[in-house]
Structure 1
Amino acid sequence: MAEGRRRVEPLDGGWGWVIVGCCFMVTVCTRAVTRCISIFFVEFQSHFGADYAATSWIHSLVDCTTMLCAPVGSLVGNCWSSRVAVMLGGLLSSVGLLLSSFSTSLELLYLTMGVLTGLGFALCYTPAMALVGCYFRRRRALAYGVAVSGSGIGTLVLAPAVQLLIEAYSWRGALLVLSALVANLCVCGALLRPIGRQDGEEEAELGGEEAEPAGEEKPGFVSSRDAELAVSPAPPAQRRRGFLSGQEFRFLLLPGFLVLAASFLLLASGCSVPFVYLVPYALSVGVRRQRAALLMSLLGVLDILGNLSFGWLTDRRCLKPYLLSSYVIAVAMEGVACLLLPLLRSFTLLVPFAVVYGYFDGAYVALIPVVTAHVVGARYLSSALGVVYFLHAIPYLLSPPIGGWLVDITGSYSATFLLSGVFLLSSAVILSASAGIRRCLAPPTAAES
């Protein structure tokens, strides 16, 4: 039996924790580095003589390119392997930051940092996240919680470190150091060992996954069939045939995934606004600058706690049948917090908002891959995550400017936060309604009859 076709069940440990550690580093080198790009804004403005609007496009392009090209990362991972995708992405993103350190204009930064680095991040993020789901079944939520916590932990460590690097070596030197850091993605990619499958094992049909609707709760949340499908892609020739025939995207026909996609679009439209406008809002109601910055720190710390604790809690036996409900509650709590935010007009009242919003933001982020795996199965998880992150791209790009436009025409932040809350609550309501409808339409079980 060929080594690449060896059957290996999801381990829920062992080498799986190495995969989680690699995915943790991938989120540090992608999402945390992206957040830290804003630290360079003042340096870019003074060096190139640009205004804030022109400079802010660098951050928007990195974020948008990472999300828009997420399906490309899925295709590369499915056509070759997660190892190839992450190593190639690490090389591209490192080269992009290296070239950015020699840029002589903002236009060059748009290309090198915004497009090239963003493309590299896209090649890394989705395949690494999907491989975690292949190695874990019982403790999948906890594994993803640890993996995505790299975003918050990396931001806490990198933000002050990048500021010190800029002061010591200028922005060009700081980008060189970040380029070297991001090059470690190649090392992480080399450790992403795929799981094989037996020769002659039949490919499961998508119809089997279709029988597991998006909103249906069940013990364990992920079926044993998912575990059997949690395997690496087929041999190269077979993978290319599957790619060319579009087999990797058959999940797009699932009604459950269409509902999930609509929910994610609404979620992405509302979730980023508080991170952009919380500090300006706090300043507008008289909070001192240092305390306003502390609110963002609280958001980051609670985001980490949400990643870890919610992942651990939802893997407990008593909560495992209610993972989807837990996800919906986390999104709904964020929506309620945003609706109440215009009433909070002091630092003392804004601290509870930062605690609640930060914690539940980390909670739902940790559960996104788990919810997606429940709908499409692990066989299609890599491709599905690529589409899911692709759906975040345009809302991430447009929602902050739309929020700013509402502030301009209304003279307050109330409409911006209310709109964000409505989007988040609508995202939760769609999934809840879909789950309720599917339960009502489901045939009665033998026990019920």
Structure 2
Amino acid sequence: MKRGSILSSRSLEMSEKKTHSAAAPDGGWGWMIVAGCFLTTVCTRAVTRCVSIFFVEFQSYFSRDYSATAWIHSLMDCTTMLCAPLGSYIGNRLSSRIAIMIGGLLSSAGLLLSSLAASVEFLYLTLGVLTGVGFALSYTPAIAMVGSYFSERKALAYGIAMSGSSIGTFILAPSVQLLIEFFSWRGALLILGGLVSHLCVCGALMRPLEGKRGRQKEMDLESGKKVDFLNIDIDESKPSDAKEYSFLLIPDFLLLLVSFLFLAYGCSVPFVYLVPYSLSSGVSPQQAALLMSILGVSGIVGTTTFGWIADRKCLRPYRVVSYMLAVGSEGLSCLFLPLLNVFSLLVPFSLVYGYFDGAYVALIPVVTSDTVSSTHLTSALGVVYFLHAIPYLISPPIGGWLVDQTGSYTATFFLSGVSLICSAVILAAVRVIIRCPRGSSSAITPVFSVT
């Protein structure tokens, strides 16, 4: 009887521990989730950024202009964001692990087929659409998984995870240039397809936090009961269908979405046109690829430092302010880019722009989670990235059209910088306008505050 009492208390203790672990353990297997998300951003966002390195090759091989080749990058980015809710849906209904693995297979197939392309239009479908869909299924669920495992150290965890895009850019940019020189653009795409297939490995790391059903299985195992391992665990803490998108009624979240629209238009243009602009200024192909690497290195510092700073207890209520500073500074640096036409001047631009780009990339899921709570984070990120789709689709072709019409990159970079600044100004203005009346009532929390 005494032994049964001990076993019972031990089972109760284990059950309590598992209940606590299901509520953001801030460590443990969470760091493996961070590692998986890190590799996912390498295989998705870093690869997307490096697609611009192929543009000169595509223009020469297919005899097409800037705007025609820019549609490839636009379609890839647009499809990735447009299908983000699909990734959220699969992640919520099945599991993030399944969504990421399916995405890895689709995106790898898209890159492999792109190596066989006979026209730019074929690349629109394979490299733009198919690869973009695969990235969409992998990217959003991986990011949301980090938010479910971290609370107190959320910004730091996201800083490390999202630095994958910067580190990946640093490594892949010169590597892709070398692959093109040694194996042609077809061979380079083939090798990138093999790299992206590692998303399946990333998906295998995404073990979900155990809900009630998972805890019951472990208790059954301890008591010797037969367990059906073929059943998929369902986390009962997930929101029901009726409440899954209730966060769309939160005013602060709607304001964030407006800011994200301007951000999405401006942020992708420099990554698309920095290499072509550098080449037109007389910079060698190797130096142009090095500029992309510098963007990546600087982004690493930006994601980690802003992630660490935003996690400080005294600064947590001001994470959105950090986001605004990062986006506004990025826009200002973009305005000066047309004045920089030699390699020695383009290096400081890459350092500054990359730093603040890494900062805001790490802060997007953080401020989103602070606004809607981690319960709705997967669906909310799906909506956030979905709204990125149209700006991502039209900004590079508009930039290419401006280059073709004016013979200069000045208008393209100026429009990008103004859009980024508007993103920060909108949030700042609305924050001041809404906070003033709220200040008279202590019952209402200030806009974007973190409790």
With the length of structure 2 as denominator, give the TM-score of the two structures.
0.80
Cα offsets for 1:92-150 (capped at 9, x unmatched): 22222233334444443332222221111100000000110111111111111111111
Structure with larger Rg: 2
2:147 aligns with 133
2:228 aligns with none
Mapped contact 1:28–1:150 kept (Cα < 8 A): yes
Cα offsets for 1:20-73 (capped at 9, x unmatched): 000011011111222233344455556556555444433322221111111111
1:441 aligns with 437
- Structure 2: gaps of 5 or more residues: 1-11, 214-231, 444-451
Match of 2:246 among 250, 265, 268: 250
State the alpha-carbon separation in 2 of the partners of residues 44 and 274 from structure 1: 19
State the alpha-carbon separation in 2 of the partners of residues 186 and 53 from structure 1: 34
Letter in 2 for 1:375: T
2:122 aligns with 108
Match of 2:263 among 257, 264, 267: 267
Cα offsets for 1:124-177 (capped at 9, x unmatched): 000000110111111111111111111121122223333444455444444333
Deviates further, 328-337 or 90-99: 90-99
1:380 aligns with 376
Mapped contact 1:79–1:236 kept (Cα < 8 A): no
| Counterpart secondary structure, 1:141 | helix
Q: CA deviation at 1:268?
A: 1.2
State the alpha-carbon separation in 1 of the partners of residues 69 and 406 from structure 2: 25
Aligned positions, number: 409
The reply to whether residue 191 of structure 1 matches residue 210 of structure 2 is no
Cα offsets for 1:69-88 (capped at 9, x unmatched): 11111111111111111111
Q: Assess, with a 3 A threshold, how the Cα gap between structure 1 residues 158 and 136 changes in structure 2: closer, same or farther.
A: same
The reply to whether residue 335 of structure 1 matches residue 335 of structure 2 is no
Match of 2:37 among 20, 23, 28: 23
State the alpha-carbon separation in 2 of the partners of residues 12 and 149 from structure 1: 19
Cα offsets for 1:236-260 (capped at 9, x unmatched): 8997x944x4x32221121111111
Cα offsets for 1:385-427 (capped at 9, x unmatched): 1111111121122122323444455565444333323222221
Q: CA deviation at 1:264?
A: 0.3
Q: CA deviation at 1:383?
A: 0.9
Letter in 1 for 2:104: G
- Cα RMSD for the two superposed structures: 3.2
Cα offsets for 1:327-363 (capped at 9, x unmatched): 1111111222233445556655544333222211111
Q: CA deviation at 1:292?
A: 5.5
With the length of structure 1 as denominator, give the TM-score of the two structures.
0.81
Match of 1:75 among 64, 89, 103: 89
- Structure 1: gaps of 5 or more residues: 200-232
Match of 1:65 among 79, 95, 102: 79
Match of 1:175 among 174, 184, 189: 189
| Counterpart secondary structure, 2:388 | helix
Mapped contact 1:80–1:236 kept (Cα < 8 A): no
State the alpha-carbon separation in 1 of the partners of residues 89 and 407 from structure 2: 45
Mapped contact 1:328–1:431 kept (Cα < 8 A): yes
Match of 1:368 among 364, 371, 384: 364
